[in-house]
Amino acid sequence: METAERRQILKQSLVAAAARTIERRGLAALKARELAEAVGCAVGAIYNVVEDLDDLVLAVNSRTLASLEGALTAAGEPEKGRASRGSDAAIGQLVRLSIAYLDFAAAHRSLWRAVFEHRLPRRLPEWYLEEQMRLFGYIEEPLRMLLPGTPKGRRALLARTLFSAVHGIVTLGLEEKLHAIPPDALREQVTFVVSSIGRGMLRRA
């Protein structure tokens, strides 16, 4: 095998091992020595294929975002068999995206938490920022229908704000600290708040 190919395979194994550790024991449990043992390489070999462990976490988080995107794509499609008005359809789409986000977070708590907990000691690379931005695009689509004529920059900011609101509900709702909210009640709350936002936007617009 070529060296480049071997490095690529080692990197993939390390990313998979890091994802398993984060999934089972959380971001803080990630240690170079254990990763090296898990993939059967020397500790030093890790730093031949990545700059540091943060690089591995970025790669894991990128996989998590890709898997979230899969869930959002399914949820973002227009409902079949129901002909609803444009604005109702857009509100329904926002609600489905939010519920998909909630379900994803509940099903992959540790991996999902790592996306937000991880602090890169340098600027996030452009490719990673672009992946995040692409996800906001899913929210911008129904917003385009609810708030026609809103400039692109403002719509992008609003998509991010709506995401943050749903993220807050999901995070604090799943958290045990303040009594966790039962899953069905949490879904109902997300639905009520997101559809209220949608209707309220229309009322202003």
Question: What string of DSSP letters covers the chain?
Answer: --HHHHHHHHHHHHHHHHHHHHHHH-GGG--HHHHHHHHT--HHHHHHH-SSHHHHHHHHHHHHHHHHHHHHHHHHSPPTT----HHHHHHHHHHHHHHHHHHHHHHTHHHHHHHHH---SSPPPHHHHHHHHHHHHHHHHHHHHHSTT--HHHHHHHHHHHHHHHHHHHHHHH-STT-PPPHHHHHHHHHHHHHHHHHHHHHH-
Q: Which is nearer to a second copy, 9 or 185 (CB)?
A: 185
Residue 90 sits in the site that holds a second copy (CB under 8 A): no
Residue 161 binds to a second copy (criterion: CB under 8 A):
yes
How far apart, in whole angstroms, are the C-alpha atoms of residue 162 and residue 171? 14
| Rounded distance between C-alpha atoms, residue 90 and residue 189, angstroms | 18
Closest distance to a second copy from the beta carbon of 95 (Å): 12
x/- letters, 163..202, toward a second copy (CB under 8 A): xxxxxxx-xxx---xx--x---x---xx-xx-xxxxxxx-
Q: How many residues interact with a second copy (rule CB under 8 A)?
A: 35
Which amino acid does the sequence have at 87? S
CB 160, min distance to a second copy, A: 8
Task: Tell me the window of 13-21, 51-59, 67-75, 161-169 that interacts with a second copy (CB under 8 A).
Answer: 161-169
Residue whose entry in the numeric block shows the structure tokens 């303040």 = 178
Considering the rule CB under 8 A, would residue 124 count as an interface residue with a second copy? yes
Closest approach of a second copy to the CB of residue 140, in Å = 15
Of the pair 80, 119, the CB lying nearest a second copy is at 119
13 binds a second copy (CB under 8 A): no
Kindly tell me which of 36 and 103 has the beta carbon lying closer to a second copy.
Answer: 103
The binder of a second copy chosen from 119, 127, 152, 184 (CB under 8 A): 119
84 binds a second copy (CB under 8 A): no
Contacts with a second copy, residue ranges (CB under 8 A): 119, 124, 132, 157-158, 160-169, 171-173, 177-178, 181, 185, 189-190, 192-193, 195-201, 203-204
